[in-house]
Amino acid sequence: MHVRRVELTDFRSYERVAVDLDPGVSVLVGQNGMGKTNLVEALGYVATLDSHRVATDAPLVRVGASSAVIRCAIAHDGRELLVELEIVPGRANRARLNRSPVRRPREVLGALRMVLFAPEDLELVRGDPSERRRYLDDLLVARQPRYAGVRADYDRVVKQRNALLRTAYLTRKVGGTRGQDLSTLAVWDQHLAYHGAELLAGRLELAAALGPHLTKAYDAVAAGRSAAVIGYASRLGESLPTDRSALEAMILESLAERRAAEIERGTTLVGPHRDDLSLQLGELPTKGYASHGESWSFALALRLAAYDLLRSDGIEPVLALDDVFAELDTDRRERLAALVSDAAQLLVTCAVPEDVPAGLRGARYDVGTGAVTRVS
């Protein structure tokens, strides 16, 4: 798969830009702040409906404009898909696929499969569990787009269940009774267990499938002295069944056990929204032990593992490496280049072109103020 053309209108710093791309390697060169990351961020948005840099849409719209549009033509298996997204902060996005409006923007997920590694990904290792859950869930959706629905259903149930618990909590605080306002909680327990088990089963299967790809990727980029290992860390228990209905029963049981605590705290304490991915180098957890370089290599390995896994599914995703080579010594640059040079499409951004190994020859684009120009 490859992005054949991307057009941005009022996206980030771009008033209007159109970039035609070829399969193979494209290197985007530009000084700091010129819009290299903005461009790959737009593609990432098409792939995940989310930005790797910000949680809300407002910063994605050019200052002074009211909405942003991303149009992206994706070539795959001799066919072409045109995805158009309009981002209007505070409102639902509008999406079109091959010029026809779709009912929900998430119906365009799967059209572009892309793995993006960016400096912000250090947070995958250093940041909150939510970063790692998002990593897993985005990959789940990239592999099987139907998980976008599973994820949305689960999020909705948690939100509504939390609202119920919160209202009861607040009512109780002002001296009301607790019994009647929680009468629908049992129904929400069923929904939470049902959708939670589906999401959890997907994540468990994914974490297991990723393991060998991660170890291999870390070894390749870091020439690791220790092996990189991931595990799925759930509060439900250490070793979980992969069977969906067994997980559903476990969630229901755990909900019954934690009921008093949930009512006391006014929030949902059970379910995959509380889980994490445990990351280890050899015997040691990365958190609190890994050096900066090790953490960075681990984050890169997580992305490369995702890329490798998608490839092994037969999908051939687009790979984008934002500002990666500047962080690496010559030896590691060469290793990484060897690993990714045969990507169906590889987008590399850099401020200093000499940082990109000679092995990664391809098209070169200059990114200047508001414009992207192909120079070779």
Ligand X SMILES: Nc1ncnc2c1ncn2[C@@H]1O[C@H](COP(=O)(O)OP(=O)(O)OP(=O)(O)O)[C@@H](O)[C@H]1O
Residues that bind ligand X (CB under 6 A): 12-13, 30, 32-38, 59, 61-63, 323, 351
Stretch that binds Mg ion, among 34-42, 71-79, 135-143, 171-179 (CB under 5 A): 34-42
For residue 39, give the nearest of 66, 74, 64, 11 by alpha carbon. 11
Minimum distance between the CB of residue 146 and ligand X, rounded to whole angstroms?
A: 32
The torsion of the CA quartet 10, 13, 16, 20, rounded to 10 degrees, works out to: -120
Residue window 85-104: x/- pattern of binding to Mg ion, with contact defined by CB under 5 A: --------------------
Q: What letters, b where the CB count within 10 A reaches 16 and e where it falls short, cover 156-186?
A: ebbeebbebbeebbeebeeeeeeeebbeebe
Which does residue 359 touch among ligand X, Mg ion, none (CB within 5 to 8 A, set by kind)?
A: none
In the bound state, the residue with its beta carbon closest to Mg ion is 37
Q: Which residues contact 321 (CB under 8 A, 6 or more apart)?
A: 117, 336, 340, 346, 347, 348, 349
What are the distances in angstroms from CA 89 to CA 1, 94, 180? Answer: 30, 11, 38
Minimum distance between the CB of residue 41 and Mg ion, rounded to whole angstroms?
A: 9
Which CB sits closer to Mg ion, 37 or 295? 37
Minimum distance between the CB of residue 367 and Mg ion, rounded to whole angstroms?
A: 10
Which does residue 62 touch among Mg ion, ligand X, none (CB within 5 to 8 A, set by kind)?
A: ligand X
Sign (positive/negative) of CA torsion 173, 176, 177, 180?
negative
Which CB sits closer to ligand X, 36 or 195? 36
For residue 367, give the nearest of 44, 25, 35, 15 by alpha carbon. 35
30 is in an annotated binding site: yes
State which amino acid sits at residue 26. Answer: S
Does position 37 bind Mg ion by CB under 5 A? yes
Minimum distance between the CB of residue 36 and Mg ion, rounded to whole angstroms?
A: 5
Q: Where does this chain bind Mg ion (CB under 5 A)?
A: 37
Which residue ranges make up the annotated binding site?
30-37
